[in-house]
Structure 1
Amino acid sequence: MNTSKHSQFAQELDARVARFGLRVAAGLSERNQALPADVSERLRFAREQALLKARSARAAQSELAPSTQLVRNGASLALFGGKGSPRWLKFASLMPLFMLVLGLALIQHGQFYEQILAAAEVDTALLADNLPPSAYSDPGFSEFLSDEQD
């Protein structure tokens, strides 16, 4: 439904643009009859030059067009060069994602290892000291341990 509205809007827009272009061309052609001959000749030469530039621009664009093609894969668009892309290109496009996941896994492992080392230091300090059992229930005991380690 949405695509039909979009295509209908595009067709209506194209028709309006074409009508506007025809009106402008008719107005210019009408006033062209009243121009002096030298002005008409300069306009004709400028028109030919513009057409040559437009043709060369279209030719250059058509030479570049086959090198990049849009290929529709499901709900996403991907740029590929030609019918079959090489395997190394597919691998290279997935490499940044793989490296990101690997980096995040290494960071998580490092954080986990640091937490284990911190807990081991606290346990070692607790087991090495001669403290009465009431000291473990004291609320300031954890502060004492953190001050002693610094």
Structure 2
Amino acid sequence: MNTEDLNFAYKVRHALNEKLDDLPASTTDRLAAARKAAMARKKPHVPVRVTQSELATAGAGGFFSHPFGWLGRMSVAVPLLVLVAGMVGLYQYEQQQRINELAELDAAVLSDELPLSAYLDHGFNTYLEESREQ
């Protein structure tokens, strides 16, 4: 059976499971007869794989209807959560580094001998550039 056939079978099963309670009794009897006929034509050397949990939740289609369905979902969700937590941690670390750099700059400006008004003077920037060139 190829993947297209399997996908079609899963879609049919899902559609039937959704409307199972709404089906008339005659339709469910015909479906049961068709299943019996299909099982009668089954090759004897091919085992039927139905787990106990699938029998218990037949037609429910809930979160635990497949034995490892929740584990498969968690195998996607956990790495995503780790990635998001790592990104948040990296962002927080970068923000802390930026705060530390600004604090060092503020401390250097405040501890300098020049008054704060000198840094606001446009002529002072020109003086600094000229003194660097010499």
- The two structures have a TM-score, normalised by structure 2, of 0.40
Higher RCO structure (Cα 8 Å, ≥6 apart): 2
Higher percent of residues as strand = 1
Which has the larger Rg?
1
- The two structures have a TM-score, normalised by structure 1, of 0.36
